[in-house]
Structure 1
Amino acid sequence: MPTSQTTDAPRPEETFAAAEAAWQRGETHTARTLCERLIAANPHDANALNLAGLIESGRDPLAARALIGRALAEREDPLFLVNFAMTCQRAADRDIAIRALHRAIELLPDFPVAHNNLGHLYGEAGDCAQATRHFERAIALAPAHAAIHFNYGTMLHKAGEFARAEALLRRTLDLAPGHVDAWNNLAQVLLATHRTPEALSMLEHAHKLASDSVDVLTNLGCVLLGAGRIDEAKAALERALERDPGRVSAWNNLGNLLMQTGHIDEARAAFDRAIAIKPDFADAHINLGNAHSKSGDIGEAIACYRRAMACHPAGIGAHSNLLWSLMFAVDDGHALRAEAEQFSARHESALLAASEGAHYANTPEPARRLRIGYVSPDFRHHCQSLFTTPLLRHHDHAAFDIVCYSLGAKADEVTNQLRSFADIWRDVHDFDDARLARQIRDDRIDVLVDLTMHMDGARRLLFAQRPAPVQAAWLAYPGTTGSPSIGWRLTDPWLDPVGAAHIDDQYTERSLRLPDSFWCYDALAPGVDVNPLPAQSAGHITFGCLNNPCKLTEATLALWSGVFAALPESRLLLMAPPGRARERLAARFAAHGIDPARVSFVGFQGRTDYLRTYGRIDIALDTFPANGHTTSLDAFWMGVPVPTRYGRSAVSRAGLCLLANLGLPELAASSDAGYVAALTSLARDLPRLAALRAGLRARMQASPLMDGARFASNMEAAFRHMWKAWCTEQRAAPGAAS
C-alpha cells in the first residue's frame, strides 16, 4: 500500500509570529484572524490576547481593553500594562491609564516607553512637573528615541515653554529628519515666538515630505495667508478640507482668508461650519464676531465674543474684541470701565502682582532729556500713521530721545518714513512679551506709550509687566485700558470736559488733557483734490457715511431717520461689503422708515479711491454713540462737512472735538432733534454748503488739527508733566534719599 503523507499543523508560537508580522505590515484582517484562531485554541494565551487587543484598539478601544485585561489576568507583564493604558483614550479614563503605567514601572523601572507615555498623560492633565520628570527619565534611558523627544517637545509647546520645546523638536529632527509632525510642530513653536518666515520654511519642507498631511496643509494655509500668498493659501486649505471635511481649524483658516479677500458671506459660512463641528471652538466664535462686525451687526458680534469667552475664559482675544466693540454700542463710559477692569482682573492679575513696586534704573531728574517709547503693530500703511506721522516728524530731539517698537511683521514706505523720524527703531515683531519688556527696561525708557489699547495687535500683557516707570495710553481710541499698569491717558477738553461731574472716574488712568485736540492729522494723500459740490449738478443732496459698518447701530439709524424724513429728495451713499450685509442693512433702513431705494453702496476701498468717493458726497452723516474719528477728518480734508450728535462717552464726543477745533461748533448737537435741525439747515443752504466745501481744507490746515509742531510740543509737555509727577513720587517714597 502506498504510504499517506500528512502535514504537521503550525505550532502556536509560529502562528503568533505570523500574526505579529502581519499586523506590523498593516495586514490587520490577517492578523486578527490568526489571533482569533490562537485564542479559540487556548483562551489563556496571554500573548495572543494582548496582540488581539492592540489590533482592536484602532476601531474599538473598549473591546481592546477587555482583551488586554484578559492578558493581564494571565500574566502581569509591563508591556501589557503599557498597551492597556493606551486603550484609555477618554480624559475620564486618564487616571486608570496612569495607574497602569506606574505599575509597569514598578515591575520594570527602566522601561522608557512607560515613562514616555506617563509624561504624555501628565502633560495632557496639565501637570508639567510630573510630565517633565518622566520625559527626562525616558530620554536618559533612550537618548536616541525620536518619538520621546517629539512628545516631550510637543508637551512643552502646549505649556508655553517655547525655548525648551524648540530644542527638543530640533533634536527630534536630528534623530529622524523625515518626522513630518516634528517639522509641523516646530513651525508652531516658531510662529508662537513670532518667527514667521522660518516657520513658513519649515511647513513648506513638511509639505514636500507629506503633501497630503492635513495638519501641515492647514497650518501652511494659515501662514501663507499671513504672508499675502492668497491663492496658495486657499489651495492648501481647500486640499486639507478635501482630505478631512471635519478639520475645524481648516474651516476657521479658510474663513479668515475669505474675510481678508472681501467674501464676507462665504467667510461666515466657513466659521458657522467650524462651530457646527466643534461648538466650543473659541477662535471660530471670535472670527464669526468679526464677520458680523464688518457686516454692520455689532449686537451679534458682541454676542459672538461673549460666547468665545465662555468657551475659553483664559483667552485674551475675545475679551479685547468685546471691549473694542462695546464702544460702538454703549454710550456709558462707566460701563466700559467696568468691563475693562474685568479684563485686567482676569488676564493681568499675576503679572501686575509680580511687577508691583518695580524698581527702575532711570534717574529721577525732572528736567533731563527723556526717552519716550512708542509701541505699535501699525507703523505702516494704516490709519494710525495719519496721526503718528505729524507727531514723530516734529519731536524735539534735543529734549527727547524717541524710540519706536514696531510689532508689525510687514514694512512699507510709510514704515520707512516713520523710521526716519526715530532716534532708535526696533523691529520687535518676533519678541514675546517677556523679551520685549526686558528690551524696554534695557533701553531705559522713561515714558512708554501704548498706541493700541484693546485694538488688533494689542500687547496688554507687555504693559502689565510695567517695563517703564511711566506708562500712558494715546491714539488707539479715547477710552480706558482698565489696567493699573497704565498710569495716564491723553485726552482733550472736548472729549472730557474739565469740571464735568463723573468724567474722570470713567477711566482707571489719570486723564491729562492736551490743550486743543486728541488728534493731529496728516492726510498722507497728495494729489487728491476737492471737487465742486455734487448737489449743484445732481439737484439733490447726497449724504454719505464711509465709517466702519459696525458703527451703524440702531441709535444711528433712528438718528438718521429724522434727516431723511425732513429731506425726502436726499440720497445716501454707504460703505458696506456686498452680499447679505447690504440686504440686512436695507431691511434695517426700511424698519426705520428710510426707503432702501434711496440708499446705494460702495465696498471697502484703497485709500486714494476711498478719498475720491467723498467727491460724490455733499454732507457726511455721523454715527452714534461712536462718532467718526479718522473718517470724519478724511471727510473734512475732502471738503465734506460732518455735523455730529455727541453724547456722554469720549468716543461719542469726537465729532464735537473736531468741529470745535475747526471753528464750526454750531454743527454739533447734544440731542437727536438738534442734530436733525443742524443738518437739515445746512442741507437747505447750498451757497453755505458750497462755501464750506471750498474752504474746509484750508480751514483744517490752519487749525490745531494739522499743526504738527504745536501738537508735538503739547505732547512733549504732557510727557514732561507725567515724568515730573513720577519724580515727585520717588522723592516722597519711604527710604528715598533727601
Structure 2
Amino acid sequence: MTVPHAPSASAASASANPAASAASAGTTAYETALAAWRAGAHEAASAGCQRALDADPHHHDALHLAGVLQLGRDRAAARAFFMRALAVRETPGVLVSFALTCDAAETAQAAQAHTALQRALELDPLHPDALNNFANLHAARGDVATAMALFERLIAAQPGNAIAHYNFGSLLLGGGQPARAAGPLRRALELDPAHVSAHVNLGNALIALNRLEEARALLEAARALAPEAPDVLINLGSVQRLLGGYEAARALLMHALELAPANASAWNNLGNVFYDLGQIDEARVAALRAIELRPNFADAHGNLGNALKAAGDVEAALAAYRGALACDPNNRGARSNLVYMLAFATEDAAAIRAEAEAYTARHEAPLLAQAVAYANVPDPARRLRVGYVSPDFRNHCQSLFTLPLFAHHDRAAFEIVCYATLAQPDAITAQLAARVDHWRDAHALTDAQLAQQIRDDGIDVLVDLTLYMAGARRDVFALRPAPVQVAWLAYPGTTGSRAIGWRLTDPWLDPPGAPGIDAQYTERSLRLPDTFWCYAPLDAPDEVGALPALAASHLTFGCLNNPCKLTDATLALWSGVFAALPEARLVLMAPPGQARARLAERLAAHGMSAARVRFVGFQARADYLRTWSQVDIALDTFPYNGHTTSLDAFWMGVPVPTRVGASAASRAGLSLLENLGLSELVAHDNAAYAAIVVALAHDLPRLATLRAGLRARMAASPLMDAARFSRGIEAAYRHMWRDWCESERSV
C-alpha cells in the first residue's frame, strides 16, 4: 500500500459572516498544519489540525490530514477522522486513506477497503494511489491478473511513477516471473536511484536468473545506500553464498541477525551457508529457528529437510519436505527433493513414479500443453547432434562417468554439445570441455533461453544428467527443445515427465521381461548392453594396499556412502553381520555432531556398540579413497545401493556384497557385481546377505586374493571399457533417433 498524499491547501475568501470567518480560521490553521507536516514536524501538524477543527469541525482537508497523521500511530483514530471527512464529502484521496485503516484479515473491513477503493476509482479512474492500493489489495487476495492489469493501467497513466514500477515488478517476482520482473524493477531504479527495496528485489530477480555477478553489484550498491538495512545484508549474503563466498555470506547474515534477531529469512539463509560448509547441526538449528519465527515458511521447512537428509534422518527429512509442501504446494525445491529422497526410503517404484508424476503435473503441465515443432531433418543415418545438460560438469562424482564417455564418442557420427549450468567451473570442467565439440556456459540462461539455445544448436538427442538432483532444470526439458529427450546417469529412476521419452538402463537394473518392471517408469526403457555406468578412477592411489585384517586382530567393515542411505532397512540388513562377528569394527562417513551420536545409538540397537564404530567426515577424493585402504569389506546400503561409492571401493580392492530389491536403485549392486563376474556376492534377502558377508569375513585368504585382483578385474570388465560403453550408448541414441524419424514419416 502507498500512503496517500495529504490534501492541498485551499484558499478561502474573506467574509464578515461568522460561519465564513470560522471556515477561514480553520483553513489558516490547516495551512499551518500542512506546512508543519511537510517539514516533518508531525506533532506541530497534529496541533494545527486540532486548531483547524476547533474552528471548523467539518473542515474536510483538516480531517483528512489529521487521519493521515494518525495512520502510523492509532489506526482506529485515523479511521474515525477519515469517516468524518467522508461524511462531509467523498473524494478519492480520503477513500484511499480510509482503505488503509481496514484490516485485510478481517472479512468485513477487507470488503470495506475494496468498496472504498472501487469508489475512489469511479470518482477518478486514474487516481494513482487508488490504482496502486487496489492492485496491492487484489494481489494480497491472490487475484494476480487483476492486480497486474491495475498496475499496467497506472504505469500507462504515469510512466514516471517509481512506486508503480516497483510494485508491479515485485508482484511479477513474487509470482515466479523474474525475467519479466527485472524490467519494471530496473525502471523503478532509473526513476528513483535511492530506492533501496527496488535494489533488493531487482537483485533477487537477477539471482533467480542466475545473473549472480550483476546481482552482487546491485546489492553492493544498495548496501552503500543503506549499510545497516537487514534485507540488503540478507540478500547480499545469499548471492555471496551462491558465488562460493561462504565466509563473507556468513558474516553478512550474522550482522543482519544482530540488527534483526527475529528475521526468519536471515536465519533460513544462514542455515543454507552452514549446510554448504558441512556444519549440519548448525544448519538444522538455523532452519528450526526460522520455522519458529515463521511457521509457514516453506523454504525453511525444505532446508530443514536438507539438513536432516545430510544427517541420515531420512524419514524426518521426508516429513520436512512434506511440511514445506503443506505450507506452499507450489514449492518446487521441496517437491523435487521429496521425489529424489523417496528412492532412498523405499523400494516401491510405483510410489516413486507417482510422486514424480505429481511434480510434473503441478509444475510442467502448462509447458507440456504448448505445441512444438522441429526443424531437425529426419534422416536416420546422418551425423547426430547430442546435447548433455548438467550442473555437475565439475569436480563431482558424475565426472567419473562423463569423462570416459566424452573421450570415446565417435565424433564422425556424433557432434557433442554440453550445456553447463554450473556457476563455478573448475579444472575438471576444463577437462570435460576439451573432450566435446561445443561447450555452452548456460548457468546464466533462463529456462526459456536455454531451451532456445538448444533449438538454435539443432540438437537431435538431448540428455538429462540430473533428474531430480540438485540443480535440475526440469522446465528446460518440459519445453521440449529437442525431438528426442532421454534421462541417464544421475540415478536409475524416472522423471515422471511426458517430456522425456526415454531412459537408459541395463539388463540388471531392469531385467527385460520381468513382470511390472517397465511400468515403474513413464519413459521407455532402453537397456545398454552391459552396464549403466562406465567408470574412470580420478585421483586414485596407484596401488591397492594389503588386507587390513592380516595385520589387525579384527575385521574392519566400511560404508562411505552418504548418510541418507543409512536407513532402518540398511541397519536391519547389517544386524545379522554384527551378531555373527562381535569383534568386527566399522568405519562410517557422517558429519560431526548429532548425526554421529544418533547413528551410534541406532547402530547399538542393531548390535554394533559405539566403541567399535569410527566416523570420518566428508573428504577430498584422494583422502576418501585412502580411507577405503583401511577397510576389509564394504557393507552395502538398502534400498538405495551404493553406486559410485561401490565402484570406488572395488577400485581400492574392497569387495561390496549386495542385497537386491525391487527398485532399480536397489539393484545397482547386482549390476556392478554381475559385470565384475562376482555374482556369488549377490543376496536376495537379509539372511543370505549376512551369510555371504560372514563367510567372506571368515576366509581371509579368499578375501586377500579378491582384494589383490579386484582392480585388474574392474579394468578388464565392461565397467571400465569406455570404447565399448560409448558404442553401446551411441547405438541407443541412434535407435531413439530412428524411432523419431519413423514417427515423423508416419504423420
Range of TM-score over shorter length = over 0.9
Higher mean C-alpha displacement, 9-18 vs 437-446: 9-18
Q: Once the 2 structures are TM-superposed, how far is the Cα of residue 718 of structure 1 from its aligned partner?
A: 0.5
Higher mean C-alpha displacement, 147-156 vs 315-324: 147-156
Identity %: 60
Whichever residue aligns with residue 348 of structure 2, its letter is D
Q: Which runs of 5+ in 2 are unaligned?
A: 1-21
Secondary structure at the aligned position of 2:95 is classed as: helix
Q: Which one of the candidate residues 69, 74, 82 is aligned to 1:55? A: 69
Whichever residue aligns with residue 350 of structure 1, its letter is P
1:238 equivalenced with 2:219 (yes/no): no
1:5 corresponds to which residue? none
Q: Once the 2 structures are TM-superposed, how far is the Cα of residue 78 of structure 1 from its aligned partner?
A: 1.9
1:311 corresponds to which residue? 327
Higher mean C-alpha displacement, 483-492 vs 31-40: 31-40
Secondary structure at the aligned position of 2:615 is classed as: strand
Q: Which one of the candidate residues 86, 106, 109 is aligned to 1:72? A: 86
Q: Once the 2 structures are TM-superposed, how far is the Cα of residue 64 of structure 1 from its aligned partner?
A: 2.3
Correspondence 1:709-724 to 2 at 5 A: 709-724=723-738
Q: Once the 2 structures are TM-superposed, how far is the Cα of residue 534 of structure 1 from its aligned partner?
A: 1.3
Is the CA contact (8 Å cut-off) linking 1:120 and 1:152 kept in structure 2? Answer: no
Per the alignment, do residues 205 and 383 of structure 1 end up closer, same or farther by CA in structure 2, a change over 3 Å counting? Answer: same
1:661 equivalenced with 2:675 (yes/no): yes
1:252 equivalenced with 2:274 (yes/no): no
2:365 corresponds to which residue? 349
Whichever residue aligns with residue 387 of structure 1, its letter is F
Per the alignment, do residues 111 and 253 of structure 1 end up closer, same or farther by CA in structure 2, a change over 3 Å counting? Answer: same
Correspondence 1:409-424 to 2 at 5 A: 409-424=423-438
Query: After superposition, what is the alpha-carbon deviation per residue over 1:561-608, rounded to whole angstroms, capped at 9, x for unaligned?
Result: 111111111000111111111111111112222212111111111111
Whichever residue aligns with residue 731 of structure 1, its letter is R
Q: Once the 2 structures are TM-superposed, how far is the Cα of residue 615 of structure 1 from its aligned partner?
A: 1.6
Q: Once the 2 structures are TM-superposed, how far is the Cα of residue 67 of structure 1 from its aligned partner?
A: 2.4
TM-score normalised according to structure 2 size: 0.93
2:17 corresponds to which residue? none
1:85 equivalenced with 2:86 (yes/no): no
Correspondence 1:559-570 to 2 at 5 A: 559-570=573-584
Q: Which runs of 5+ in 1 are unaligned?
A: 1-8, 734-738
Query: After superposition, what is the alpha-carbon deviation per residue over 1:303-359, rounded to whole angstroms, capped at 9, x for unaligned?
Result: 11111111111222111111111111111212211222222222222221224xx32
Q: Which one of the candidate residues 436, 459, 462 is aligned to 1:445? A: 459
Number of aligned residues = 724
Work out the CA distance in 2 between the residues paired with 1:85 and 1:14. Answer: 28
Q: Which one of the candidate residues 507, 515, 527 is aligned to 1:513? A: 527
1:369 equivalenced with 2:383 (yes/no): yes
Query: After superposition, what is the alpha-carbon deviation per residue over 1:8-42, rounded to whole angstroms, capped at 9, x for unaligned?
Result: x9954444344434444444444445545554665
Higher mean C-alpha displacement, 54-63 vs 272-281: 54-63
Query: After superposition, what is the alpha-carbon deviation per residue over 1:429-479, rounded to whole angstroms, capped at 9, x for unaligned?
Result: 122222222221222211111111111111222212221111111001111
2:115 corresponds to which residue? 99
Whichever residue aligns with residue 79 of structure 1, its letter is G
Higher mean C-alpha displacement, 603-612 vs 34-43: 34-43
Higher mean C-alpha displacement, 83-92 vs 677-686: 83-92
Q: Once the 2 structures are TM-superposed, how far is the Cα of residue 251 of structure 1 from its aligned partner?
A: 0.8
Is the CA contact (8 Å cut-off) linking 1:112 and 1:137 kept in structure 2? Answer: no
Higher mean C-alpha displacement, 98-107 vs 656-665: 98-107
Is the CA contact (8 Å cut-off) linking 2:203 and 2:218 kept in structure 1? Answer: yes
Higher mean C-alpha displacement, 422-431 vs 509-518: 422-431
Is the CA contact (8 Å cut-off) linking 1:152 and 1:168 kept in structure 2? Answer: yes
Secondary structure at the aligned position of 1:402 is classed as: strand
Q: Once the 2 structures are TM-superposed, how far is the Cα of residue 621 of structure 1 from its aligned partner?
A: 0.6
Q: Once the 2 structures are TM-superposed, how far is the Cα of residue 527 of structure 1 from its aligned partner?
A: 4.2
Work out the CA distance in 2 between the residues paired with 1:621 and 1:270. Answer: 33
1:696 equivalenced with 2:714 (yes/no): no
For the aligned residues, what is the CA RMSD?
Answer: 2.0
1:321 corresponds to which residue? 337
Work out the CA distance in 2 between the residues paired with 1:274 and 1:318. Answer: 16
Correspondence 1:378-527 to 2 at 5 A: 378-527=392-541
1:271 corresponds to which residue? 287
Work out the CA distance in 1 between the residues paired with 2:620 and 2:249. Answer: 23
1:152 corresponds to which residue? 168
Work out the CA distance in 2 between the residues paired with 1:131 and 1:347. Answer: 23
Higher mean C-alpha displacement, 22-31 vs 635-644: 22-31
1:4 corresponds to which residue? none
Work out the CA distance in 1 between the residues paired with 2:124 and 2:268. Answer: 45
1:676 equivalenced with 2:679 (yes/no): no
Secondary structure at the aligned position of 1:153 is classed as: helix
2:236 corresponds to which residue? 220
Per the alignment, do residues 261 and 73 of structure 1 end up closer, same or farther by CA in structure 2, a change over 3 Å counting? Answer: same
1:532 equivalenced with 2:552 (yes/no): no
Per the alignment, do residues 163 and 226 of structure 1 end up closer, same or farther by CA in structure 2, a change over 3 Å counting? Answer: closer
Per the alignment, do residues 616 and 148 of structure 1 end up closer, same or farther by CA in structure 2, a change over 3 Å counting? Answer: same
Work out the CA distance in 2 between the residues paired with 1:294 and 1:55. Answer: 53
2:355 corresponds to which residue? 339
Is the CA contact (8 Å cut-off) linking 2:27 and 2:52 kept in structure 1? Answer: no
Whichever residue aligns with residue 529 of structure 2, its letter is P
Work out the CA distance in 2 between the residues paired with 1:554 and 1:114. Answer: 59
1:171 corresponds to which residue? 187
Per the alignment, do residues 646 and 80 of structure 1 end up closer, same or farther by CA in structure 2, a change over 3 Å counting? Answer: same
Per the alignment, do residues 562 and 33 of structure 1 end up closer, same or farther by CA in structure 2, a change over 3 Å counting? Answer: farther
1:3 corresponds to which residue? none
Whichever residue aligns with residue 173 of structure 1, its letter is L
Work out the CA distance in 1 between the residues paired with 2:152 and 2:522. Answer: 46
1:575 equivalenced with 2:589 (yes/no): yes
2:227 corresponds to which residue? 211
Work out the CA distance in 2 between the residues paired with 1:178 and 1:477. Answer: 49
Q: Once the 2 structures are TM-superposed, how far is the Cα of residue 98 of structure 1 from its aligned partner?
A: 3.5
Per the alignment, do residues 479 and 100 of structure 1 end up closer, same or farther by CA in structure 2, a change over 3 Å counting? Answer: same
Q: Once the 2 structures are TM-superposed, how far is the Cα of residue 137 of structure 1 from its aligned partner?
A: 3.6
Work out the CA distance in 2 between the residues paired with 1:25 and 1:697. Answer: 82
Q: Once the 2 structures are TM-superposed, how far is the Cα of residue 172 of structure 1 from its aligned partner?
A: 2.0
